[in-house]
Amino acid sequence: MTDSTRPAAPDLRRWPSDPAQFADTTLCPACFSRLLGVTCDVCGLRLDVAAATDLLAAGVRVRDAEADRQSIITRMRAEQAPPAVASVPSSAGAGSASSLGVPIAAPPP
C-alpha cells in the first residue's frame, strides 16, 4: 500500500504563490506545506541536514531577487507612463468655449 499524502514525483518542482514563502521557515522549502517537524509530512523532505542551511540561504536570495525584479518593473512602468495632461483654465465665460479653448457657436434663435 502506498502513502497517498506523498507526491508521486518527489522531485516535482513547485513555485510558491508568494516569493516570501521561499524564506518562510514554517513551510517546507520543497512543497510549501506547513511544517510540523524537521521532516515534511507531505513530501518527506528532511530538514535536519547541513544542506538545509544552504537551501534557506538560496531561498532568501530568490525572495530578494524577486523583490528587486518587481522594483525594476515598477520603475519601468513609471518611466513609460504617459505624461499627465495639465488642464488649461478657460479665460472666456462659461459656455462660450470648449475645454480645448475652441469657440462654440451659439444656437440659432
Q: pLDDT tens digits, residue range 92-109?
A: 555 555 556 666 666 676
Which value, to the nearest 10 degrees, does the dihedral of the CA atoms of residues 58, 30, 45, 55 take? 0
Residue 89: per-residue pLDDT:
65
Taken in order 94, 96, 98, 99, the sign of the CA dihedral is negative
CA atoms of 17 and 20, how far apart (whole Å): 9
Q: Which pLDDT score, from 0 to 100, does residue 6 have?
A: 56
- Residues 52-81 have pLDDT tens digits of 999 999 999 999 999 999 999 999 999 999
- Digit-coded pLDDT (tens) for 22-59: 999 999 999 999 999 999 999 999 999 999 999 999 99
Predicted confidence at residue 54, as pLDDT, reads: 98
Residue located via cell numbers 521561499: 22
CB-CB contact of 39 with 46 (8 Å): yes
With cut-offs at 50, 70 and 90, classify the pLDDT of residue 1. very low
Query: DSSP for 70-94?
Result: HHHHHHHHHHHSPPPPPPPPP-SPT
